[in-house]
Chains A and B, each alone.
Chain A
Amino acid sequence: MDSNSSSPRVGVFVCHCGSNIAGTVDVEKVAQEISKMEGVAYAGTYIYMCSDPGQKLMRETIEKEKLDRVVVAACSPTLHEKTFQINSKNAGLNPYQCEIANIREHCSWVHEDNKKATEKAIKITKSIVEKVKEDKSLTDIEVPITKKAIVIGGGVSGIQAALDIANGGYKTYLIEKDSSIGGKMAKLSETFPTLDCSQCILTPKMVEASNHPNIELMTYSEVESVSGYVGNFKVKIKKKPTSVNWDLCTGCGDCYNKCPAKVPSEFQEGLSKRAAIYIPFPQAVPNKPVIDRENCLYYQKGICKICEKVCKIGAIDFDMKEDIVEIDTGAIVVATGYREYPLENLTEYGGGKYPNVISGLKFERLLSASGPTGGQIIRPSDGKSVKDIVFVQCAGSRDIEEHKPYCSKICCMYTAKHAMLFKHKVHDGNAYVFYIDVRTAGKDYEEFYYRTTEEDHALYTRGKVSKIFEDGEKVVVWGVDTLTGKKVEIKADLAVLAMAIEPSVGIKELQQKLKISIDENGFLKEAHPKLRPVESMTSGIFFAGAAQGPKDIPESVSQAGAAASKVLSMFSSNMLHKEPLICEIDEDVCSGCGVCIALCPYKALEAEITTKEGKEVKRSKLNEALCQGCGTCSSACPSGAATMRNDETKNMFKMIEVILE
């Protein structure tokens, strides 16, 4: 039943909500008062309106009383507006002619005086009845979808999300800023709690992604700009110049073996050097080199060009320019990951100052069989073997005053792994771990931690480290054992700091380009922390991995799968449905002043010039797919041309009138 008739038949259903409402508000009296209103054909109460019998009662009453509009006086609309709208739709009404009067959060919960609360509940309900009487029958907006996806970030989360979407049968672009995909996981030695070698489980996935017919890898590329809206994004990708023609390059390696420029390798955390033309690691995908122009002798001094001489197929292209590619996509998955909090920030531990005070990620490279030492644990200062090692947990985490307030979550487990692997390699070594709390929530995690203590005898000491300083060849760690109340001093060969983790560099710029939110710590902010953890507040943009908050590998992979399933479920229909409760521009009234265009936070309005009776007319044009119905335009519009559907000014005055009666 579609009803825009002038003599409405409104039904009002007042909910007791057990004693939540009825304990404070005289619900019977509310129903009685409301039934006296003009246009109200029915007013009744029920103990739990949202329950199955409650909803049935509502449907039966709609039919029996021939109602065409409904008001439910109950809890907040955030809770059950959808429930009651669907219920009234099932009873044959237009769902947008069902309104909620919030008499719980706005009334019964915040008042004690029964009489006054009842009066207030009556006023709230009356006002909503006035609103529903003017509500128009509306239909959902349909938006077409481009069934292609973009995944930003080529770490394990991005790879997994891209694979899952591609396996669903849709074209996916995997964008990575470095020359190879793999991310942080490619750097890790072994992974907790099973100690599989990280590369052994990751590289097959990297190869799968690069060979997948539905995945287009775009490495050494960054997102330049994003426009459009859910289902119809336009993303400009900047392909940075690799200076090597990858179509020709065979990945033989002659160039980087001969290149004379040597700089610290980012992949090896500075433990070894790489050439200026390089692949980050031997298992890189794609296995093609790029020239680091900042360190290349040709770009800096105009000499050398050895790589060009040794390349037999002539793949080196010094004149390569950056390229901008535009991609149409329906959904975007952001998987930009994390980085370690800079070691230099921990001055009291001598971070960045002492070579034998290193970060967790650097220790991973020391442990790794593919690392610069082949998995041998040495002191970076002199290459001597390590016997006493100290692990410092919460290095920068859980420090509200100076560093990061949050728990970085992965460090407890990787420190347990580090101590364990150290003892596996150095049997007569001593591993000391300073912790505040050991947090090992996860399947088989606690058992893993027990193995580190029971079997490998790592000595866990509860207390923070106050200071680390050098004494001869050793680093001296000053801490405390709060369990015995004694200060502890350990002369160690190596101190490993379990650094806090923070979002990747550039997350702020990306967040602005995508128009999504970040939280106070810089991580991506989800639409709902519990019920919508992989969605952004902008529809069509999803999250995967540590960009949303600290996460280990299993969690990142599961979130990537979740994000992919959100994309796939969106792609499973041909049209997107959207609530029609958005702005409307009255073309005849709009003067084209453009105030709304400048103010619209979603860029849903744009200027349009049309000809009307032979004259050029400027006015605002609305993109329905982009508008989120915030109402900014409507409150700013000087001529009253911009209005909100079912929230028009004249309705508002009526609503206020009954409250002031």
Chain B
Amino acid sequence: MVFTVSEKGLELRKTVEEISGENIFKCYQCGKCSATCPVVDSMDMAPNKVIRLVQTGDVEVLNQNTFWVCAACFTCSARCPRSVDIAKIMEGLRNVKLRNKQDFINIYSKEFIEKLIEEIPQMAIVSAIKKGVW
């Protein structure tokens, strides 16, 4: 588990900053976002660690579920002492995935409608509508 700063990672940090409009360097890793998150138990990685990986430019951040589990409740953003909008950064990471055509689900597919719609939480459907995917 050795991490070396890579061009790809620095690119990821830049993209997430661009999409979210947030200054990722503001975060001083106090962990209040993770402490306040209502769904942190279902996440692979606590939100502050996700922010940390974006800070360091570690592409590993894209291989876990945190930003998909995020309910965009904005509690973290409201309570951050450095006024970092963490929810926006999560959104940025979701967008990075989608723009790379990863984790994309065709909601009009027969498979989705028949099988998955029963399992998808309502929140996800609301979120998808918000993004205009639906």
- Using a CB–CB cutoff of 8 Å, the interface residues on chain A facing chain B are 430, 432, 450, 453-454, 457-459, 461-462, 481, 483-491
The smallest C-beta distance from A36 to any residue of chain B, in angstroms, reads 66
A459 touches B56 (CB 8 A): yes
When distances are taken between beta carbons in the complex, the residues of chain B under 8 Å from A487 are 1-3
B52 touches A454 (CB 8 A): no
B23 touches A454 (CB 8 A): yes
When distances are taken between beta carbons in the complex, the residues of chain B under 8 Å from A490 are 4-5
Q: How far is the CA of A422 from the CA of B56 in the complex (A)?
A: 19
Q: How far is the CA of A454 from the CA of B3 in the complex (A)?
A: 23
B5 touches A485 (CB 8 A): no
Q: Which residue of the partner chain, among A454, A484, A491, contacts B26 with CB atoms under 8 Å? A: A454
Q: Which residue of the partner chain, among A454, A458, A462, contacts B29 with CB atoms under 8 Å? A: A462
B56 touches A481 (CB 8 A): yes
CB closest residue in chain B, given A488: B3
B77 contacts the other chain (CB 8 A): no
Task: List 15 contacting pairs A-B, 8 Å CB cutoff, sorted by A.
Answer: A454-B23, A454-B26, A457-B25, A458-B25, A459-B56, A461-B56, A481-B52, A483-B48, A484-B49, A484-B52, A485-B1, A486-B3, A486-B58, A487-B2, A487-B3
When distances are taken between beta carbons in the complex, the residues of chain A under 8 Å from B5 are 430, 432, 490
When distances are taken between beta carbons in the complex, the residues of chain B under 8 Å from A461 are 56
B29 touches A489 (CB 8 A): no
The smallest C-beta distance from B12 to any residue of chain A, in angstroms, reads 14
When distances are taken between beta carbons in the complex, the residues of chain B under 8 Å from A459 are 25, 55-56
B49 touches A488 (CB 8 A): no
CB closest residue in chain B, given A430: B5
The smallest C-beta distance from B108 to any residue of chain A, in angstroms, reads 39
CB closest residue in chain B, given A483: B52
When distances are taken between beta carbons in the complex, the residues of chain A under 8 Å from B2 are 486-489
When distances are taken between beta carbons in the complex, the residues of chain B under 8 Å from A488 are 2-4, 56
CB closest residue in chain A, given B48: A483
When distances are taken between beta carbons in the complex, the residues of chain A under 8 Å from B3 are 481, 484, 486-489
Q: How far is the CA of A485 from the CA of B52 in the complex (A)?
A: 11
Which 6 residue pairs spanning A and B have beta carbons closest together?
A486-B3, A487-B2, A453-B25, A489-B4, A483-B52, A454-B25
A486 touches B29 (CB 8 A): no
When distances are taken between beta carbons in the complex, the residues of chain A under 8 Å from B1 are 485-487
Q: How far is the CA of A450 from the CA of B23 in the complex (A)?
A: 12
B53 contacts the other chain (CB 8 A): yes
CB closest residue in chain B, given A485: B1
Interface residues on B, range: 10 to 19
The smallest C-beta distance from A465 to any residue of chain B, in angstroms, reads 14
When distances are taken between beta carbons in the complex, the residues of chain A under 8 Å from B55 are 459
When distances are taken between beta carbons in the complex, the residues of chain B under 8 Å from A489 are 2-4
The smallest C-beta distance from A62 to any residue of chain B, in angstroms, reads 59
A484 touches B56 (CB 8 A): yes
Q: A458-B25, A486-B1 are in contact. List 12 more A-B contacts (CB 8 A).
A: A432-B5, A450-B26, A454-B25, A481-B52, A481-B56, A484-B53, A484-B56, A486-B58, A488-B4, A489-B3, A489-B4, A490-B4
Encode contact with A along B18-30: 1 for CB under 8 Å, 0 otherwise. Answer: 0000010110110
Q: How far is the CA of A645 from the CA of B25 in the complex (A)?
A: 68
Q: Which residue of the partner chain, among B26, B48, B52, contacts A453 with CB atoms under 8 Å? A: B26
The smallest C-beta distance from B86 to any residue of chain A, in angstroms, reads 15
Q: How far is the CA of A485 from the CA of B5 in the complex (A)?
A: 15
When distances are taken between beta carbons in the complex, the residues of chain B under 8 Å from A454 are 23, 25-26
The smallest C-beta distance from A431 to any residue of chain B, in angstroms, reads 11
Q: Which chain B residues in 1-43 approach chain A with CB under 8 Å?
A: 1-5, 23, 25-26, 28-29
The smallest C-beta distance from A392 to any residue of chain B, in angstroms, reads 16
When distances are taken between beta carbons in the complex, the residues of chain B under 8 Å from A483 are 29, 48-49, 52
Q: How far is the CA of A453 from the CA of B52 in the complex (A)?
A: 13
The smallest C-beta distance from B8 to any residue of chain A, in angstroms, reads 14
Q: Which chain B residues in 53-74 approach chain A with CB under 8 Å?
A: 53, 55-56, 58
When distances are taken between beta carbons in the complex, the residues of chain B under 8 Å from A430 are 5
The smallest C-beta distance from B27 to any residue of chain A, in angstroms, reads 9
CB closest residue in chain A, given B10: A430
The smallest C-beta distance from A155 to any residue of chain B, in angstroms, reads 34
Q: How far is the CA of A61 from the CA of B73 in the complex (A)?
A: 73
The smallest C-beta distance from A434 to any residue of chain B, in angstroms, reads 12
The smallest C-beta distance from A105 to any residue of chain B, in angstroms, reads 42
The smallest C-beta distance from B52 to any residue of chain A, in angstroms, reads 5
CB closest residue in chain B, given A476: B4
CB closest residue in chain B, given A456: B25
Q: How far is the CA of A611 from the CA of B25 in the complex (A)?
A: 85
When distances are taken between beta carbons in the complex, the residues of chain A under 8 Å from B56 are 459, 461, 481, 484, 488
CB closest residue in chain B, given A479: B3
Q: How far is the CA of A481 from the CA of B4 in the complex (A)?
A: 11
The smallest C-beta distance from B26 to any residue of chain A, in angstroms, reads 5
CB closest residue in chain B, given A490: B5
CB closest residue in chain B, given A453: B25
